[in-house]
Each structure stands twice: as C-alpha cells, then as structure tokens.
Amino acid sequence: MEQKLELVDTVVKGIQEKKGQRIVVADLTAIDGAICSYFVICQGSSPTQVEAIAESVGETARLTLGEKPTKVVGMGNAQWVAMDYVDVMVHVFMPETRDYYDLEHLWEDAPMQWIAED
C-alpha cells in the first residue's frame, strides 16, 4: 500500500510540474470490482499542455521511483491521455472532455482528495 501511495504522490508532483489543474485523487481501494487502487485525474488548458503533463508524469515516476506505465493511450490527439501504472491510473484531460466523461461522478462512492493548486 505504501508503494502505491508513493506513486500517487509522485504522479501529483509530475502534474504540478506542468501546472496541471483541478487535480483529484480517487481512492478506489474499498470498491469491489475497481480496475485499480487509485485514479489521479487532472486537466490541462490545451492539447500541448495535456501532452506535457503526461510526459512530466512519466518522467517523474521513472526518475523518482523507476516506474514506467504499462500502457499510455491518447497522446495522438491529447484530449484525454490515460496512463496505466496497474494500481494507479492517471487521466489527463482537456476541460470539455473531462466534463463529458465525468469520472469523478462515475466513482462518486470513492473518497476524493482534491489537491490544492499553487
């Protein structure tokens, strides 16, 4: 469990490095059938920023913890980039795409931790 939380913290640092907005961590550990333990959700204001955030997360996790995602999808159009670290899923959205899919509502029975913006 400690290793998962360390990865979540590292992911958040990678997001903050590129000024990701509206960062939330959904704790799915107590939800039966959840696909992972944690969702980290954020947004960027442009496709370029979404891509930069995803790259920063990948680099920060690799350099800090030696972790690499098993799969990254969405880098081509950068409207929604999903990064799969098995126990931690990272979602980087454009605002309108985030509003449309509304993952926070989908997992509303999970405790949500909103990260204060600098």
pLDDT tens, the chain, 118 aa long: 689 999 999 999 999 999 999 999 999 999 988 899 999 999 999 999 999 999 999 999 999 999 999 999 999 888 999 999 999 999 999 999 999 999 999 888 899 999 998 6
- The values of phi and psi at residue 35, to 5°, are -80, -10
Closest CA to 68 of 60, 77, 58, 55: 58
Round to whole Å and give the CA distance between 117 and 77. Answer: 26
CB 68 within 8 A of CB 59: no
Can you read off the two tokens belonging to residue 13? 């640092």
CB-based burial label for 72 (10 Å; 0-12, 13-18, 19+): middle
